[in-house]
């Protein structure tokens, strides 16, 4: 791998006064920052100004990731910095999600990582009325980032050009499970929002940076060489796992992210909805009818009840009260309750069952004619997904230099556990995760995990991203890791066509696992032919387990689930200096940019101009 002008690029970041961490979440966003001009800089959370009702702006620590398109009759969704805006982002948009759901975008981030759709196409909100001008998942993310930028500019920059968010060193977090395409689209959204100095960071890593900052210098007492830290991050919409190893490098402790999990659309919102359905069933048994509006209120009430029951083990029941909708509050409301037994049965046993290490999530075959929608996880058991992750990544530390080899066992053995995400605030849920992992470790003859305590689970990712910004300037330890996947291009092998049988395909590795930012992979020997003036598509694959494949390695067969097919890639050769229709032999080269995105380029074997190369587009819409 060759280093690309790394020094000059990272210096460019150093003149920004602030390092800013943005948690661009599925259900909430948050922004934290640190003033790098201060000697012992600490991270702080910026309260984000947002509309909280039709006519009031408040600063809140979290910006709900919702976007509401106001109807013309409602007037402007005025903000202190824009009196004429036609849409609202944040708390008021979330409220309107209950009152006028067809005009509200939610979970834009899940759409952004959904390879089955064209993520640059204006399709959100799904089913919006005709007067709404729909936007793409990329634009929705752009609007959230833009809002954070405007709130920052109004609060911090106050008219100073150098104080604006676009001039700061901004770190945006993405799920560790985001593939190269979703990462690139996130950067695209950030660029559109005017954030020019952006770097991506995996959310579980951010959580660990936040923990390290919260512990101060004392963190080294809790982490020793040989440790494998498992980060379990269960947020509002997604579940994300990562493993980070602590390695002794010549007396220095080094942290290396060794494995990431798959993208699992499963989170706190699913759990609240499950509780709401249980209470709804109880109310309906009493002859009460629940409408859509009450269902949303019920979900809210269940969330509060859940938080109480999960955080205080002495509470046996939590009352649920839903007010009548009209001005007559008393008498028309609905009353019910959630009991500890129900919470245990639904959440602890339903979402975190005590399973053995061999348990795997059940995949439900998708109906042939599915409506356009998000690919939600079909198995709600977080512990099964976790068991599957640890089993898939059993070899994650085997090739790690200077790391003591794990002795036996069918699972990766974590030694320490860090929780993140709002759901993991529940004491009973944390206890269950610990007991499940401990039982798997005991079966493998390994010692139990220690829990790394501390930190605010809602804001840790934003804080950790800002802390990473400081670490990158040499003020703290950095987690190494590089790309969490290896990437492959699919080449159809020449074979006689057989009806009904797909031609065999060879997967050629373009980007090996663990490529560091600012490096390029070596040029693979294989040549591919592309036609001048035509769009040429290739199938594209990723693997989070094949660590040994170098650039150019050609796989003719691979284990089940080792490779996942991603959205295809596409290249168009301009006709300059060549004739339309000519076949030009090229080689494909992968690089990882300083920003943290994958760059694929086609390099002609016989260039007609110096340094000729064409960018290959990721994120092409998957074939129907």
Partner 1 sequence: MAETPLPFFARLVLAWTCFFRVLFDGVFARDVSNVQTRGRLPEVRPPTQSMPAIPPPPPADTALILLGIFQREGRLVDFLEQDVTSFSDADVGAAARVVHEGCRKALRAHARITPVRSEEEGTRVTIAAGFAPAEVKLSGNVGGSPPFTGILRHRGWRALDLSLPIPVTGHDAEVIAPAEIEL
Residue 460 to residue 563: CA distance in whole angstroms:
32
Closest to 21 (Cα-Cα) out of 194, 177, 200: 200
Phi, psi of 525 (to 5 degrees): -70, -25
The answer to whether the CB of 509 falls within 8 A of the CB of 552 is yes
Nearer to partner 1, 79 or 511 (CB): 79
**Between 76 and 122, CB nearer to partner 1:** 76
Smallest distance from the beta carbon of 73 to partner 1, in angstroms?
A: 11
CB of 235 vs partner 1, minimal distance in Å: 21
The nearer residue to partner 1, 35 or 337, going by C-beta atoms, is: 337
End-to-end CA distance of the chain: 37
Q: Which residue do the tokens 């493998």 mark? A: 444
Q: How far is the CB of 323 from partner 1 (least distance, A)?
A: 4
Closest CB to partner 1 among residues 332, 447: 332
Instruction: State the minimum distance, in angstroms, from the CB of residue 100 to partner 1.
Output: 9
In the complex with partner 1, the residue whose CB is nearer, 329 or 362, is 329
> Quick one: 321 or 427, whose CB is closer to partner 1?
321
Distance of alpha carbon 69 from alpha carbon 452, whole angstroms: 42
* Residue 151: CB minimum distance to partner 1, A: 12
**Considering the complex, what minimum distance in angstroms separates the CB of residue 284 from partner 1?**
18
Exposure string over 604-617, b if 16+ CB within 10 A, otherwise e: beeeeeeebebebb
Token output for 198: 């952006």
- Tokens, residue 45: 């959370």
472 pairs with which residues across the strands? Answer: none
3-state secondary structure 229-294: EEEEEECCCCEEEEEEEEEEECCEEEEEEEEECCCECCCHHHHHHHHHHHHHHHHHHCCCCCCHHH
Q: Smallest gap, in angstroms, from Cβ of residue 61 to partner 1? A: 10
3-class secondary structure for 67-136?
EEECCHHHCCCCECCECCCCEEECHHHHHHHHHCHHHEECCHHHHHCCCCCCCCCCCECCCCCCCCCCEC
Rounded to a whole number of angstroms, the minimum distance from the CB of residue 57 to partner 1 is 4
Q: How far is the CB of 309 from partner 1 (least distance, A)?
A: 15
Of the pair 100, 273, the CB lying nearest partner 1 is at 100
Residue 60 CB, shortest distance to partner 1, in Å, is: 8
Task: Please say which residue, 56 or 410, places its beta carbon nearer to partner 1.
Answer: 56
Of 464, 592, 595, 480, give the one whose Cα is nearest residue 19.
464
> What would the two tokens of residue 28 be?
């909430």
Closer residue to partner 1, CB minimum distance, 49 or 509: 49
Write the CA distances from 525 to 2, 17, 583, 587, 588, integer angstroms: 17, 45, 18, 7, 9
Instruction: Provide the b/e sequence for 164-181 (b: ≥16 CB within 10 Å).
Output: bbbbbbbbbbbbbbbbbb
As measured in angstroms, the least distance from the Cβ of 293 to partner 1 is: 8
Smallest distance, Å, CB 58 to partner 1? 4
If the CB atoms of residues 329 and 410 are measured against partner 1, the closer one turns out to be 329
CA 4 to chain centre: 27
Among 16, 434, 447, 21, which Cα is nearest to 210's?
Answer: 21
Residue 267 Cα distances to 304, 424, 440, angstroms: 16, 10, 23
Residues near partner 1 (CB under 8 A) are 49, 51-59, 75-76, 78-80, 83, 99, 304, 319, 321-323, 325, 327-331, 333, 335
Judged by beta carbon, residue 287 or residue 331, the one nearer partner 1 is 331
Considering beta carbons, is residue 122 or 321 the nearer one to partner 1? 321
Residue 176's nearest CA partner among 137, 106, 233, 112 is 233
3 state DSSP class of 195: coil
């Amino acid at each position: 791998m060759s280093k690309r002008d790394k020094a000059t690029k990272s210096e460019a970041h150093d003149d920004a006064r602030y390092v800013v961490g943005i948690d661009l979440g599925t259900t909430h966003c948050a922004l934290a920052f640190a003033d790098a001009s201060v000697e012992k800089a600490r991270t702080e959370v910026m309260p984000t100004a947002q509309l909280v009702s039709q006519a009031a702006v408040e600063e809140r620590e979290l910006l709900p990731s919702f976007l509401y398109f106001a109807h013309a009759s409602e007037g402007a969704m005025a903000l202190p910095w824009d009196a004429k805006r036609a849409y609202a982002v944040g708390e008021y948009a979330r409220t309107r999600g209950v009152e006028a759901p067809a005009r509200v975008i939610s979970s834009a981030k899940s759409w952004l990582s959904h390879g089955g759709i064209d993520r640059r196409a204006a399709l959100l909100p799904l089913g919006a009325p005709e007067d709404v001008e729909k936007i793409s998942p990329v634009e929705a993310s752009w609007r959230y980032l833009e809002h954070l930028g405007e709130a920052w500019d109004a609060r911090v920059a106050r008219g100073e050009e150098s104080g604006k968010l676009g001039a700061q060193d901004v770190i945006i977090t993405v799920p560790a499970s985001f593939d190269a395409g979703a990462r690139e689209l996130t950067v695209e959204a950030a660029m559109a929002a005017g954030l020019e100095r952006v770097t991506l960071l995996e959310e579980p890593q951010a959580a660990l940076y936040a923990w390290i900052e919260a512990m101060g210098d004392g963190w080294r007492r809790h982490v020793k060489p040989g440790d494998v830290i498992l980060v379990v991050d269960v947020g509002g919409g997604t579940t994300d796992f990562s493993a980070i190893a602590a390695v002794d490098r010549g007396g220095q402790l080094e942290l290396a992210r060794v494995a990431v999990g798959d993208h699992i659309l499963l989170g706190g919102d699913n759990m609240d909805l499950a509780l709401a359905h249980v209470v709804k069933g109880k109310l309906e048994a009493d002859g009460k009818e629940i409408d859509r509006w009450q269902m949303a209120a019920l979900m809210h009430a269940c969330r509060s009840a859940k938080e109480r029951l999960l955080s205080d083990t002495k509470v046996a029941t939590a009352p649920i009260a839903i007010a009548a909708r009209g001005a007559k509050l008393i008498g028309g409301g609905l009353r019910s309750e959630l009991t500890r037994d129900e919470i245990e049965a639904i959440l602890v046993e339903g979402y975190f069952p005590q399973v053995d290490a061999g348990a795997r999530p059940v995949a439900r075959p998708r109906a042939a004619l599915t409506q356009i929608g998000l690919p939600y996880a079909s198995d709600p058991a977080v512990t099964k997904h976790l068991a599957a992750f640890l089993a898939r990544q059993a070899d994650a530390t085997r090739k790690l230099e200077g790391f003591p080899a794990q002795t036996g066992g069918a699972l990766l053995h974590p030694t320490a556990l860090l929780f993140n995400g709002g759901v993991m605030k529940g004491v009973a849920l944390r206890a269950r995760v610990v007991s499940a992992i401990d039982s798997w470790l005991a079966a493998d003859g390994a010692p139990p995990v220690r829990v790394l305590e501390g930190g605010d689970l809602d804001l840790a990712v934003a804080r950790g991203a800002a802390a990473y910004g400081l670490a990158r300037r040499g003020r703290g330890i950095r987690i190494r890791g590089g790309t969490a996947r290896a990437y492959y291009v699919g080449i159809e092998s020449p074979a006689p066509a057989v009806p009904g049988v797909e031609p065999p395909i060879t997967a050629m590795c373009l980007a090996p696992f663990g490529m560091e930012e600012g490096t390029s992979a070596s040029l693979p020997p294989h040549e591919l032919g592309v036609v001048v003036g035509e769009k040429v598509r290739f199938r594209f694959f990723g693997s989070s387990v094949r660590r040994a494949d170098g650039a150019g390695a050609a796989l003719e067969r691979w284990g089940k689930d080792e490779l996942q097919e991603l959205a295809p890639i596409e290249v168009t050769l301009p006709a300059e200096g060549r004739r339309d229709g000519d076949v030009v032999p090229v080689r494909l080269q992968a690089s990882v940019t300083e920003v943290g995105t994958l760059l694929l380029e086609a390099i002609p074997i016989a260039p007609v101009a110096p340094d000729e190369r064409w960018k290959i587009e990721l994120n092409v819409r998957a074939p129907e």
